[in-house]
Amino acid sequence: MTERFLGATALVTGAAGGIGAAVVERLTGEGARVVAVDRDASALAELYRHRDAVTWRECDLSEPVRDDFVASAGDVSVLVNAAGILRRSPFLDHSLTDWRETCAVNLSAPHRLAQQFVRHRLGLGGGGAIVNVCSIESFTAAPEHAAYTVTKSALMMLTKAFALELAPHGIRVNAIAPGVTATNMNAALRSDPERAARLLSGVPMRRFGAPREQAATVAFLASDEASYITGAVVPVDGGWLTR
């Protein structure tokens, strides 16, 4: 690995597993100090208690974060909004509680954290990068995923809206759109041979993605190598969206 983030500080949500944890691993491997955020304190402690480059914080993003949450993390120059939840339910049975929690974690939290990040960066003269974790469901719907699909498509447009406004301040805002990636979110589906085969039939590369593959794209978009890229939503999906 290179040291593209040597001396930089990043804040990563959803850091207790899946794509978020892979992003922490990638960024620290390239020299960053990372503030790892998740509501699963035990998982954070298990992953990071012996990692000098990682400071972890327990935070339930279904609730509003305090106004100084980002600023109190230090000179944060990279924000990665990787936290996300999926509540599967037929549309007619989708509870208001699940709808509200999905909207809070998948959309409101990235919005609030991005606002705090931008205020913090402007106080330091501007610059910095935000990377949001959207989904292939930002582009296409899936059954029993109403709230998830809606929030991920809205997060895609939030990425573009913020990118447009923040470009004059040197703050870049991009996103990845992961395809089916091997995380706990879909572990039950992947363990069912019939359902897994049916899902893989829609992936031209005929395999599930790995969290590290998503993290590699996040790291690129957050790095200076992507210095002229903003407002982009990059599919990392094994070709799913080519269909």
Which residues are part of the catalytic machinery? 148, 152
The DSSP 8-state label assigned to residue 219 in this structure reads H
Helix 18-29 crosses helix 41-48 at what angle (to 10 degrees)?
A: 30
H or E, element range at 26: helix 18-29
Tokens 């501007």: give the residue: 126
Q: Distance (Å, rounded) from C-alpha 175 to C-alpha 144?
A: 24
- Nearest 5°: phi and psi at 108? -65, -40
Quote the CA–CA distance of 37 and 196 in Å, as a whole number.
30
Q: CB of 81 within 8 A of CB of 129?
A: no
CA distance 232 to 130: 11
CA distances from 92 to 152, 182, 226 (A): 20, 29, 43
- Number of Cβ atoms within 10 Å of the Cβ of 67: 12
At CA 147, angle to CA 116 and CA 214, rounded to 5? 65
Closest C-alpha among 118, 138, 136, 114 to residue 126: 118
